[in-house]
Structure 1
Amino acid sequence: MASDRDILPSWIKPTHYVISIHDIEFGGGFTYQGTVAIHVDIKESFTDIALNAHQLKLNSAELKTKDGASKVVKDFAYDEKRQRVTLAFGDKVDYTGEAVLSIKFQGTINNIMAGFYRSKYKPKGDVPASVAKDNEFHYMFSTQFESCDARRAFPGFDEPNLKATFDVELEIPEDQVALSNMPEKSATQGPKPGFKTVLFETTPVMSTYLLAWAIGDFEYVEAFTKRKYNGKSLPVRVYTTRGLKDQGRFALENCHQIVDYFSEVFQIDYPLPKVDLLAVHEFSHGAMENWGLITYRTTAVLFDEKTSADSYRNRVAYVVAHELAHQWFGNLVTMDWWSELWLNEGFATWVGWFAIDHLYPDWNVWGQFVTDSVQTAFQFDALRSSHPIEVPVYDGLEVDQIFDHISYLKGSSVIRMLSAHLGEKVFLQGVADYLKAHQYKNATTNDLWSALSKASGQDVNSFMDFWIRKIGFPVVTIAEEPGQIGLRQQRFLISGDVKPEEDETVWWIPLGLHTGSSASATSLHQIGALTKKEDTIRDVDDAFYQINKNLTGFYRTNYPPARLAKLGEARHHLTVQDKIGLVGDAYANAVAGYGATPGLLALVERFSDESEYLVWAQILGTVGNVRSVFSSNDEISESLKAYSLKLITPAVEEVGWEFKDGEGYLIGQLRAALILSAGLIGHKPTVEEAQRRFDAYTSGEKTALHPSLRKAIFSIAVKNGGEKAFQAVQDEFLSTTSVDGKEICLQSLGRVQSPELAQRFLSFIFSDKVAMQDKHSGTIALSSNSKVRIEVWNFIRENWDSKVHPTLSGNLVVLERFLRFGLNKFADDKVADDIKKFFEGKDTRGYNKGLDVIDDTIRSHAKYRARDEKVVAEWLKTNKY
Structure 2
Amino acid sequence: MARTDRDILPDNVRPSNYNLSLFDLEFGGGWAYSGTVKIDAAVKKPSKEIVVNSKELEIKSASLRSVNSESTEWKASKIDVDTSNERATLSFAEEIPSTEEAVLTIDFKGTINNAMAGFYRSKYKPAVTPSQGAAKEGEDYYMFSTQFEACDARRAFPCFDEPNLKATFEFEVEIPEDQIALSNMPEKATRKGGKKGLKVVSFEKTPAMSTYLAAWAVGDFEYVEGHTERKYNGKNLPVRVYTTKGLKEQGRFALEHACKTIDFFSETFQIDYPLPKSDLLAVHEFAMGAMENWGLVTYRTIAVLFDEAKSDSRHKNRVAYVVAHELAHQWFGNLVTMDWWNELWLNEGFATWVGWYAVEHLHPDWKVWSQFVAEAVQTALQLDSLRASHPIEVPVRNALEVDQIFDHISYLKGSSVIRMLGNHLGNETFLKGVAAYLKEHAYGNATTDDLWNALSKASGQDVKQFMDPWIRKIGFPVVTVAEEPGQISVRQSRFLTTGDVKPEEDETTWWIPLGLKSGAQTKSAGSALTVKEDTIRDVDDCFYKLNADQSGFYRTNYPPDRLMQLGRMRERLSTQDRIGLMGDATALAVAGDGTTAGLLTLLESFRDEDNYLVWSQISSSLAKCRAVFASNKKVADGLRKFALNLVSPAAEKIGWEFKEDEDYLTIQLRKLLLGMAGGAGHEGIIAEGKKRFETWKSGGELHQNLRAVVLNMNVANGGRSEYDTVKHEYLQSTSVNDKEACLQALGRAKDSDLARDSLEFVTSSDVPIQDSHYGPMAVSANNSTRDEVWKYTKTQWQRLNERLGVSNICMDRWMKMGLNNYSDHGIREEISDFFKDKDTRAYDRSLVVISDTIKGNANYKERDEKLVLEWLEAHGYA
Q: Same fold (TM over 0.5)?
A: yes
Aligned to 2:461: 458
Among 748, 755, 758, which residue is 1:751 paired with?
A: 748
Secondary structure of 1:73's aligned partner? strand
Distance in 2 (CA, whole Å) between partners of 1:205 and 1:426 is 29
Q: Is the 8 A contact 2:515 2:522 kept in 1?
A: no
Among 724, 727, 730, which residue is 1:730 paired with?
A: 727
Aligned to 2:763: 766
Decide which moves more: 199-208 or 747-756. 747-756
Distance in 2 (CA, whole Å) between partners of 1:60 and 1:852 is 44
Q: Would you say 1:315 and 2:318 are equivalent positions?
A: yes
Q: Output aligned runs, 1:727-876, within 5 Å.
A: 727-801=724-798, 803-876=799-872
What's the offset of the Cα at 1:21?
Answer: 0.7
Q: Is the 8 A contact 1:513 1:549 kept in 2?
A: yes
Among 84, 87, 90, which residue is 2:90 paired with?
A: 87
Aligned to 2:448: 445
**What letter is aligned with 2:818?**
G
Q: Would you say 1:220 and 2:217 are equivalent positions?
A: no
Distance in 1 (CA, whole Å) between partners of 2:103 and 2:525 is 62
Q: Would you say 1:720 and 2:717 are equivalent positions?
A: yes
Distance in 2 (CA, whole Å) between partners of 1:572 and 1:683 is 28
Distance in 1 (CA, whole Å) between partners of 2:55 and 2:577 is 50
Decide which moves more: 565-574 or 367-376. 565-574
**What letter is aligned with 1:877?**
E
What are the Cα deviations for residues 536-574 of structure 1, in whole angstroms up to 9, with x where unaligned? 111111010000000000000000000000000101221
Aligned to 1:36: 37
Aligned to 1:194: 197
Q: Is the 8 A contact 2:590 2:857 kept in 1?
A: yes
**What letter is aligned with 1:20?**
S
Aligned to 1:421: 424
Aligned to 2:5: 4
Distance in 2 (CA, whole Å) between partners of 1:523 and 1:197 is 64
Aligned to 2:366: 363
Q: Is the 8 A contact 1:515 1:525 kept in 2?
A: no
**What letter is aligned with 2:761?**
F
What are the Cα deviations for residues 41-60 of structure 1, in whole angstroms up to 9, with x where unaligned? 11111111111010010111
Q: Show structure 2 runs of 5+ residues with no match.
A: none
Q: Is the 8 A contact 1:322 1:348 kept in 2?
A: yes
**What letter is aligned with 2:641?**
A
Secondary structure of 2:605's aligned partner? helix
Q: Is the 8 A contact 2:53 2:88 kept in 1?
A: yes
Among 356, 367, 386, which residue is 1:353 paired with?
A: 356
What's the offset of the Cα at 1:91?
Answer: 3.1
Decide which moves more: 743-752 or 756-765. 756-765
What's the offset of the Cα at 1:526?
Answer: 6.3
Decide which moves more: 834-843 or 162-171. 834-843
What's the offset of the Cα at 1:525?
Answer: 5.5
Distance in 2 (CA, whole Å) between partners of 1:111 and 1:364 is 40
Secondary structure of 2:854's aligned partner? helix
Aligned to 2:17: 16
Q: Output aligned runs, 1:455-534, within 5 Å.
A: 455-516=458-519, 521-524=520-523, 528-534=527-533
Q: Is the 8 A contact 2:127 2:734 kept in 1?
A: no
**What letter is aligned with 2:814?**
F
Q: Is the 8 A contact 2:324 2:355 kept in 1?
A: yes
The number of aligned residues is 874
Distance in 2 (CA, whole Å) between partners of 1:148 and 1:769 is 29
Aligned to 1:601: 600
Secondary structure of 1:780's aligned partner? helix
Distance in 2 (CA, whole Å) between partners of 1:376 and 1:847 is 19
**What letter is aligned with 1:825?**
N
Secondary structure of 2:736's aligned partner? coil
Q: Is the 8 A contact 2:550 2:580 kept in 1?
A: yes
Distance in 2 (CA, whole Å) between partners of 1:525 and 1:317 is 33
Aligned to 2:178: 175
Percent identity reads 59
What's the offset of the Cα at 1:677?
Answer: 1.5
What's the offset of the Cα at 1:93?
Answer: 2.6
**What letter is aligned with 1:608?**
R
Distance in 2 (CA, whole Å) between partners of 1:170 and 1:135 is 25
Distance in 1 (CA, whole Å) between partners of 2:840 and 2:127 is 41
Distance in 2 (CA, whole Å) between partners of 1:643 and 1:376 is 25
Q: Is the 8 A contact 2:424 2:525 kept in 1?
A: no
Aligned to 1:695: 694
Distance in 1 (CA, whole Å) between partners of 2:745 and 2:178 is 40
Decide which moves more: 780-789 or 522-531. 522-531
What are the Cα deviations for residues 617-666 of structure 1, in whole angstroms up to 9, with x where unaligned? 00001101100000000000010010000000011111111121111101
What's the offset of the Cα at 1:94?
Answer: 3.2
Distance in 1 (CA, whole Å) between partners of 2:769 and 2:436 is 42
Distance in 1 (CA, whole Å) between partners of 2:259 and 2:181 is 22
Distance in 2 (CA, whole Å) between partners of 1:846 and 1:806 is 14
Q: Is the 8 A contact 1:514 1:525 kept in 2?
A: no
Aligned to 2:388: 385
**What letter is aligned with 1:221?**
V
Distance in 2 (CA, whole Å) between partners of 1:807 and 1:13 is 39
Aligned to 1:152: 155
**What letter is aligned with 1:870?**
K
Secondary structure of 1:408's aligned partner? helix
What's the offset of the Cα at 1:224?
Answer: 0.7
Distance in 2 (CA, whole Å) between partners of 1:598 and 1:137 is 56
Aligned to 1:643: 642
What are the Cα deviations for residues 28-79 of structure 1, in whole angstroms up to 9, with x where unaligned? 2111011100111111111111110100101111111121211111121111
**What letter is aligned with 2:758?**
F
Distance in 1 (CA, whole Å) between partners of 2:116 and 2:292 is 15
Q: Output aligned runs, 1:296-311, within 5 Å.
A: 296-311=299-314
Distance in 2 (CA, whole Å) between partners of 1:117 and 1:269 is 32
What's the offset of the Cα at 1:136?
Answer: 3.0
Q: Is the 8 A contact 1:748 1:778 kept in 2?
A: no
Decide which moves more: 126-135 or 565-574. 126-135
Q: Is the 8 A contact 2:43 2:97 kept in 1?
A: no
Q: Would you say 1:77 and 2:101 are equivalent positions?
A: no
Distance in 1 (CA, whole Å) between partners of 2:260 and 2:374 is 26
Distance in 2 (CA, whole Å) between partners of 1:861 and 1:174 is 59
Secondary structure of 2:402's aligned partner? helix
Aligned to 1:288: 291
Aligned to 1:577: 576
**What letter is aligned with 1:63?**
L
Distance in 2 (CA, whole Å) between partners of 1:25 and 1:258 is 38
**What letter is aligned with 2:855?**
R
**What letter is aligned with 2:712?**
S
Distance in 2 (CA, whole Å) between partners of 1:94 and 1:55 is 30
Aligned to 1:53: 54
Q: Is the 8 A contact 2:452 2:464 kept in 1?
A: yes
Cα 1:526–1:157, aligned 2, differ >3 Å: closer, same or farther?
closer
**What letter is aligned with 2:873?**
K
Secondary structure of 2:718's aligned partner? helix
Distance in 2 (CA, whole Å) between partners of 1:527 and 1:170 is 57
Q: Is the 8 A contact 2:478 2:555 kept in 1?
A: yes
Aligned to 1:243: 246
What's the offset of the Cα at 1:813?
Answer: 1.2
Backbone CA RMSD of aligned residues: 0.9
What's the offset of the Cα at 1:527?
Answer: 6.2
**What letter is aligned with 2:829?**
D
Q: Would you say 1:880 and 2:871 are equivalent positions?
A: no
Q: Would you say 1:556 and 2:516 are equivalent positions?
A: no
Q: Is the 8 A contact 2:392 2:413 kept in 1?
A: yes
